[in-house]
Amino acid sequence: MGRLFGYLLGVLLYVGLTFAAFGVTTSGTNMLVDSGAGLVTTINTSNGDIISLKFNGLELQDQSKFTQLSSGLGSATVTSSVANSIATITIKTSTITHYYIVKSGVNTLYIGTFISAEPTVGELRLIARLSKSALPNGPTQSEVNGGTAIEGSDVFMLDGQTRSKFYSSVPFIQDQIHGVTGNGVGAFMIIPGTAYESSSGGPFFRDIDNQSTAQQEVYFYMNSNHEQTESYRTGFFGPYALAITSGATPSPNLDTSFFSTLNLQGYVPASGRGTVKGTYSGTLSGLAVSVGFKNSAAQYWTTGSGGSFTSPLMKPGTYTATLFEGQLESGTASVTVSAGGTASIALTASASRPSTIWSVGTADGTPVGLLNADKIQTMHPSDTRMSSWGPITFTIGNSVSSFPMAQFKDMNNPTIIKWAASSSQIGARTLRIRTTSAFAGGRPQITINSWASGEPAAPTAVDSRGVTRGTWRGLNQLYDLAIPSGTLVTGSNTITINVISGSSGDGFLSPNFVYDSVELF
């Protein structure tokens, strides 16, 4: 009898899980949204927080900190509607309209966010604070639980390695899906298509994807001040999604075309957009080519191949189109997009590429190939896995992998270059130093043999710690330092590069800059 009862109970539970009804019900301040396929989402109707996220009965939502927009809206008006097997939950404040959308039979929260003003905290993000026990597996470099803070309150030492939520970041152009998993379950943030169109920073901007503390946090950062290089945008952010699976990574090519039927504030459907088809020329062989488009309302990007490119669907307007060689801005033009139209444009690389006597690194807007560039995006410069920063003496002709990707005034200053010149290579020359970011006003000043250059003007300040947060992408700078005739000599020459700044700082937070390349011509 006991076995029969257990069997019948199991059948009832199975049937209940399998055939739960799709729809929305409200009880007190709890709004339950059932996908009808195993995912039940509970939203607090007083503030819009997700307080429960159950998948086949397993609670995925942390119960001490909830899933919310920004750092929580405090209070909001929460309403729902159901039509055509689609449930739409609308969460409104005076400046924000946030949507959770569930399709019958699909275990995905489709999301859209409209803002008319930046949140007062300065960061627009969706943060899913999930159960660590249910979803323990995330990026190792952003696992900080039990770590000791070594810089600010966001870089930690754990098990002999530096960890930070910033080290989970991926350039926007590559970041269409990221997530965490557990035993038979996964939670993935999907940012498909043009979902970054109202964010800022361009294709190579990167922001936090994950932090693992007592909770397992999965983010979609829309606007932040993390090495921010341009003004925030407002409008509709998305569509994006939080997809719940049995553990497998879903496709990043999420179909959100049904959004056009939902009358969401600020959303522009495909029928109201246009495209750009274009050509490019003059780029350096071997460098990846991308094309970005931006104005005050939107940003987009695409990759180029074989001298041509096609943009994604864009909102109508006039845009600055930028040709990127690697991550180096190299040529711009203006283009106007109209709804239903296809605009044409031709871009030509115009980055200065003189015939050089020698070069260290490639002028591509990145330090790729230089010492520690392969590690800096996932660990702190102080990490023991880093190669020694120096100070370094580099001899022209040696592998550039021994030339530092960053120079810190208090840590590896100066960098010395040794070069043996022939009689035809001396005379009046220019040393060009390209940098990709700077901190605390750091910029290069050089001494060659007994001659010293002047002091370049301070670079444009960016409000971020930059390279210690795992990014080299700031504002590209070019310093052309004119070397007078009689300075270089036939035979041995010593070039000393110093970090100068009117600001102070200690260790890896002293004034610094990141190298793109050093060229003599």
Give residue 225's pLDDT band: very low, low, confident or very high (50, 70, 90).
confident
Identify the pLDDT of residue 318.
98
Q: Which amino acid makes up residue 310? A: T
- Of the listed ranges 13-17, 158-162, 354-358, 368-372, the one predicted with least confidence: 13-17
**Do the bridges between strand 358-360 and strand 512-520 make them parallel or antiparallel, or are there none, so unpaired?**
antiparallel
What's the mean pLDDT in 175-201? 98
Give residue 166's pLDDT band: very low, low, confident or very high (50, 70, 90).
very high
270-348 has CATH 2.30.110.10 classification: no
Better-predicted residue by pLDDT, 41 or 123: 41
CATH 2.60.120.260 in the chain is located at 358-520
**Per-residue pLDDT tens digits for 438-470:** 999 999 999 999 999 999 999 998 878 889 999
- Of the listed ranges 221-230, 385-394, 494-503, the one predicted with least confidence: 221-230
Identify the pLDDT of residue 228.
87
Q: How far apart are CA 293 and CA 308, in angstroms?
A: 15
Length of the chain: 521
Q: In the numeric block, which tokens belong to residue 238?
A: 């998305």
CATH 2.70.98.10 in the chain is located at 23-261
Identify the pLDDT of residue 468.
96
**Per-residue pLDDT tens digits for 114-163:** 999 998 877 999 999 999 999 999 999 999 999 999 999 999 999 999 99
pLDDT averaged over every residue in the chain: 95
Identify the pLDDT of residue 5.
43
Give residue 34's pLDDT band: very low, low, confident or very high (50, 70, 90).
very high
**Per-residue pLDDT tens digits for 325-367:** 999 999 999 999 999 999 999 999 999 999 999 999 999 999 9
Q: Is the dihedral of CA 306, 332, 124, 436 positive or negative?
A: positive
DSSP E strand boundaries for 304-426:
308-310, 317-325, 328-337, 342-348, 358-360, 393-395, 406-408, 415-421
Q: How far apart are CA 293 and CA 332, in angstroms?
A: 10
Peptide bond between residue 269 and the one before it cis (omega within 30 degrees of 0): no
Query: Are residues 78 and 88 in contact, defined by beta-carbon separation less than 8 angstroms?
Result: no
Identify the pLDDT of residue 466.
86
Q: How far apart are CA 229 and CA 471, in angstroms?
A: 13
CA distances for 107 relative to 81, 184, 218, 292, 308, angstroms: 18, 14, 17, 33, 38
Q: CB atoms < 10 A from the CB of 408, how many?
A: 25
What's the mean pLDDT in 371-379? 98
pTM of the predicted structure, to 2 decimals: 0.93
Identify the pLDDT of residue 64.
97
- Of the listed ranges 15-24, 47-56, 369-378, 507-516, the one predicted with least confidence: 15-24
**Per-residue pLDDT tens digits for 314-325:** 999 999 999 999
CATH 2.60.40.1120 in the chain is located at 270-348
Nearest to 487 by CA among 398, 425, 434, 432: 425
Right CATH number for 23-261 from 2.70.98.10, 3.40.50.1980, 3.40.630.40, 3.30.450.20?
A: 2.70.98.10
Identify the pLDDT of residue 36.
98
Q: CB atoms < 10 A from the CB of 74, how many?
A: 11
CA 130 to chain centre: 21
Give residue 272's pLDDT band: very low, low, confident or very high (50, 70, 90).
very high
Identify the pLDDT of residue 76.
97
- Of the listed ranges 71-80, 105-114, 173-182, 455-464, the one predicted with least confidence: 455-464
Peptide bond between residue 414 and the one before it cis (omega within 30 degrees of 0): yes
What's the mean pLDDT in 3-8? 44
Give residue 16's pLDDT band: very low, low, confident or very high (50, 70, 90).
very low
Identify the pLDDT of residue 19.
53
Q: Which amino acid makes up residue 410? A: D
Q: In the numeric block, which tokens belong to residue 114?
A: 């409209």
Considering the domain 358-520 in this protein, what is its CATH number?
A: 2.60.120.260
